[in-house]
Structure 1
Amino acid sequence: MKRDTKIRVVSLFIVLAVVVPAVQAALTVDAGGDRTVLAGEPVTILAACSDTEIFDAMNLSASVDWSTGRTEAEIVQDDEQNGTVRATHTYLAAGTYTVTVEVANNATGAVACDTLNVTVAPQTAEVKVVPKTLNQKSNGVMTVFVSIADWLGFAGAGNANVAVSDPSEFRIGNATPERVNFCMKDGGTLILKYRHQDLDLAAGDGNLTVTGAAMTENGTVSVAGTGAVSVINPGNGKGAKFGNGDGHARVALVKEKAKNQKELREEQQRSNGKANGRAP
C-alpha cells in the first residue's frame, strides 16, 4: 500500500514538469523621447535595453533604421541585466524621420523594437529684405541679402568647407531669383533679386522665408532664413495705399521708390563697412 502511494506521487511530479511551460526571457528596448536637431549636425541615439537573463553583450546584436538607411549599433553593458544601445547619424535634409531601434538576442531568438521621431530643422541663414514693402501688382524687383558668412553652425564647419550649391534654387515659396550676385567682401553675401509678381505672399505685415541649400563636406544641407516684409493688398496697389487721386498716387509711388533705393544703398554700404572693419 505504501509503495503504491509513492508511485502516484512521482507520477504527479512528472505530469507537472510536462504541463508547466518554461519561463521565456523578456528582452526590451526603450529608444527614448523624440529629438530635434539641425540639418548637417549629428544626432546620437542612446537606447536602454534589458533582459531577464544575465545580460551578455556577446549574444546581443542591435541595429537602427534611420528611415534613410539602416546601420549597426554598439551595445554597452551597464550591469548584469541592462545595457545601452548607441548609434549616431547625420541628416542633411529638413523633415521628420521615424527611427527604429532593434535589439536581438542571438542565443534565445528574442527580438525587441522601439521607435522615436527625429525632427530635422534647416540651418538658419541671416536674411535682409529691401524694400521692406511689397506690392505684388508692381513690376518692381525685391532684393534679398542672404549672409553665408554666418553659416558656421554646422558641427566643425568653417568658411573652407561650407559653400553655396546652387544660389538660383533659393526660393521664396515657388519663386526663384531672377538674378543672383555674390559679395565676398564681408565674408560672403548672396544678393538675390526676385520679381514682385513672382512672389505669392499673404497681404499684411509679416515675414518672408527664403529656403535653399549649402554644400558641406558631408553633403548638401537644408538652409532657411526669414526677413521682415509688409505686403500691400493686391489690387491696383495705388488706391488701396495712396488714395484715389492719380496725382497723389504718382507722388506717393515716387517717394516709395526713392525710399526703396535708399534702403538698398544703405544695406550695400553696411556690407562694405563690415568688409573694411567699420561698424555697420
Structure 2
Amino acid sequence: MMKFLDKAAMKQDNDTGSRLPCTVTQVEGAKLITGMTMIWLVTLIPSTIWAQINTLFVKQGTTLDRHLGSTFQIPAASLGSFVTLTMLLSVPMYDRYFVPFMRKKTGNPRGITLLQRLGTGFFIQILAITFAYAVEVRRMHVITMHHINGPKEIVPMTIFCLLPQYVLLGVADVFNAIGLLEFFYDQSPEDMQSLGTTFFTSGIGLGNFLNSFLVTMVDKITGSNGGKSWIGDNMNDSHLDYYYAFLLVMSALNLGVFLWASNRYIYKRESREMKDEFPELEGKAIDLLP
C-alpha cells in the first residue's frame, strides 16, 4: 500500500543538484503518517459511541426508577463511574492473564497486535450499543403497557438495567483508549513522537463533536413536518431505540472499514525492513536504474 510514495525517493536521470528527491527516511515517515491517518478516521465512530456515556445514556437513565432504598435516589450520571471502575479492574486482568495467554497462542510479545486490540474493542462497543438498543426497546414496551406520556413520568424499570452497557464500554476502553494511545505513539515517526498524542486527543474531540452533530441533525430531520423526533425533549415520547439502531448499523459498517484498513496497514517495524537490509540507503535517495 502507498507504494506510489516510493517514487519520491527515486533519483531520475534528469535530476540535478538543485532538485534532490526525498530520502528513504522521509518517504517512510510519510507512509507512516498516511497509514495512521487512515486508522484515525475509522476511530471517529467509536469515539462517537463512547460519547453516549455522558449524553443519551444519562437522559435514558433519568426516565427510570433511580431509588436505592426507600428515600435515596442515585443521580443518573453516577452510572458513568462504573466505566472507570471496570477499566481499573480490567487493565490488570488484561496484562496479568490475557496477554500471557495470547502470547503463548500467537508468539506476539503483546499477545495480539495493536490493530487486533483496537478491533476487539470496536467489537465490544458494538455489543454495548446492541445491549443499549435492547434495553430501550424494553423501556418503550413498558411505556406502552403503562400508558406513560409525560416527560417527567418515571418508567417502572430499575436504572441498573443500564449497567451492562456501561460495563461493556469500560471493557471496550481497555482495548480502545489504551490501545489507541499505544498505537499512535508506537507508530509515529521517530522524530515526531508527540504526533501520537495529537492523533489520540483529536480523535476523541472530533468524536464528541460528531456526536453533537448527529444528535442535532437526527432531531431536526425526524422531527420535521410534525413527525415524532427520535431524540426529543420528552424521552417517553421519542424513538431513542431507532437512534441506537442507527448507531449500531454505523458501528458495524465502520468495523468492516476498519478490518479492510488494518489488513493493508504496514507496521513501523515492517517499514524498517528496507533500512535494516540496506543501511547504506538511510538518508539517501534511491537511484532509478535505466
Rg larger for: 1
What TM-score do the two structures reach when normalised by structure 1? 0.24
Larger relative strand fraction: 1
What TM-score do the two structures reach when normalised by structure 2? 0.24
Larger relative helix fraction: 2
